[in-house]
Amino acid sequence: MATAERNQYDGFATEYASYGDVPDMKLEIDLVQTALGDCTGLTVLDLGGGSGLHARSAAGAGAARVDVVDISAEMLRVGQELEETLGRNDRVRYLQADAARPLAEQINKTEEDFKRQQQYDIVMANWLLDHATSEEDLRGMWANVAAALKPGGKFIGVRVRCIRAPYLQYGKYGVIFSEYEEIPGPGWKYKVSFKLNNTPVSFEATSMESTLNLDHSIPQGLGMGDFSVLPHEESKVVKEDLEYWADHLKNPSFVVVVGTKK
């Protein structure tokens, strides 16, 4: 991954504490927590987990250990500081690596026990697949997911589903997509913008056509299956105001996909 992409989150890492204030993100958090369910005694790997937003949900749901892997050193630093204030350093750790490349080759340099780590009960890859800039990157990400999951283990992934939903042009749910550019793959590059703690932030994302279409041929070839999309209609956030969420329900910009390792 290019240096610019590696560092694009560093400037607003500290603002991520207000992530749940954005309507779209509030729905995302609710759906991921539903997908996680009761994590008592489980081990969780959060690929592309940033400062640990969803990792903290897993720890709060009783996970015995959560490993967060991200490419941004600043995101990891902020997450580690948050864990220190929560007193959970023994259960949540932060590891720097590019999730599109084999993890053990990178992490084992600083975490000797990572290679010996048992496979995880749950592997999360939230928004990760929408940062693959090529099919090669996409295959590398799925390979890490499949390798880390125990047989019968659960995959959870937040995925972009539609990059041109009309409400994304004016930010009805707090997020705006703009500056679309088609790239080889085929895929699309675009700018994602929103506000965190009243601070405007933006970053560049990419989505391969296969991810937008929920094509799971790559992970199926790696021994994964039983993929399904969590129904947004069942979210308590949506149920609180069905009329407000009507546009999203009609044409969701993102979905939460769950699956298993055979």
Is 64 in a helix, a strand, or coil? coil
Q: For 84-95, what is each residue's pLDDT tens digit?
A: 887 776 789 899
pLDDT for the residue numbered 3: 37
In this model, does residue 7 exceed pLDDT 80? no
Report, as an integer, the average pLDDT of 71-98: 86
At residue 187 the predicted structure's pLDDT band, cuts being 50, 70 and 90, is very high
- Two tokens, residue 214: 């929920």
Q: How far is CA 94 from CA 66, 192, 241, in A?
A: 9, 25, 36
CA distance 257 to 32: 9
pLDDT for the residue numbered 105: 80
Is 213 in a helix, a strand, or coil? coil
3-state SS string for 97-149: CCCCCCHHHHHCCCCCCCCCCCCEEEEECCCHHHHCCCHHHHHHHHHHHHHHE
Enumerate residues 6+ apart whose C-beta is below 8 A from 207. Answer: 129, 130, 160, 163, 187, 188, 190
Q: Which residue has the higher pLDDT, 253 or 6?
A: 253
Q: For 115-135, what is each residue's pLDDT tens digit?
A: 556 689 999 999 999 999 999
Q: Give me the number of domains the chain comprises.
A: 1
How is residue 71 annotated by DSSP?
S
pLDDT for the residue numbered 169: 96
Q: How far is CA 91 from CA 27, 70, 122, 153, 219, in A?
A: 26, 17, 15, 19, 28
- Could you give the percent of the chain with pLDDT greater than 70? 88
CATH number of the domain at 18, please: 3.40.50.150
Report, as an integer, the average pLDDT of 126-152: 94
- Two tokens, residue 71: 């490419």
pLDDT for the residue numbered 82: 84
How many other CB atoms are found less than 10 A from the CB of residue 255? 19
pTM for the model stands at: 0.91
Of the listed ranges 8-22, 85-99, 207-221, the least confidently predicted one is 8-22
Is 159 in a helix, a strand, or coil? strand
CA distance 187 to 84: 40
Which DSSP helix (H) or strand (E) runs through 65? strand 65-70
Report, as an integer, the average pLDDT of 13-36: 85
Q: Please give the residue range of the domain that contains residue 47.
A: 3-261
Is 151 in a helix, a strand, or coil? strand
Residue labelled with tokens 């997911």: 145
Strand locations in 125-253, DSSP E? 149-160, 176-183, 187-196, 199-208, 224-229
CA distance 81 to 72: 15
